Amino acid sequence: VSRPDFGCATCWPEAAEAAWTAQTRLSTEHQLVDESHFRVTLRRCVTCSQVFLKIFTESVDFTHGEDPQYWTIIPLTAEEATGLIEAPEPPSEAALGAIGPGRRSLRRDYPSGGSLTCAWNTGVGLLVHD
Ligand SMILES: [Zn+2]
């Protein structure tokens, strides 16, 4: 199964940690959701023009006091990016979760009481937040 290539060596390098660092350098082009526990932005690479969807979710951990935080970054097709930008309403968790099944995404997890991990994943998947 061939899949389209996304991004370039600048914005989407092979190593997950390097990709996270590269992604932090991209500027925000659109803010789709801006809630305290749920933030969704679109960022674009100035080198290759690839648009990325970045999702931040946070849950409140009343037991440990450290709120688990999760980030997902996934490259978008031009059609997906346009659809999100032109939609009259902010995207729902379900709509975002259905984007790019099987497509390589970057996941950064900071679970409560756990250690920070950064790894390749696929798709967006279930989004849970407070
Ligand atoms: Zn790029």
- pLDDT tens for 106-115 read 999 998 888 8
**Enclosing H/E stretch for 125:** none
Q: Reply yes or no on whether the pLDDT at 118 is more than 50.
A: yes
Residue reference for tokens 């409560």: 112
pLDDT at 19: 97
- 40, burial (CB in 10 Å: exposed 0-12, middle 13-18, buried 19+): buried
First-to-last alpha carbon distance for the chain, in angstroms, is 37
Distance 61 CA to ligand 1 centre (A): 36
130 confidence band (pLDDT: 50, 70, 90): confident
99: left (phi over 0), alpha (psi -120 to 50) or beta: beta
Give the whole-angstrom CA distance, residue 37 versus residue 2: 36
pLDDT at 34: 96
Distance 96 CA to ligand 1 centre (A): 22
Q: Reply yes or no on whether the pLDDT at 64 is more than 90.
A: no
Distance 29 CA to ligand 1 centre (A): 14
Q: Reply yes or no on whether the pLDDT at 7 is more than 60.
A: yes
Distance 59 CA to ligand 1 centre (A): 31
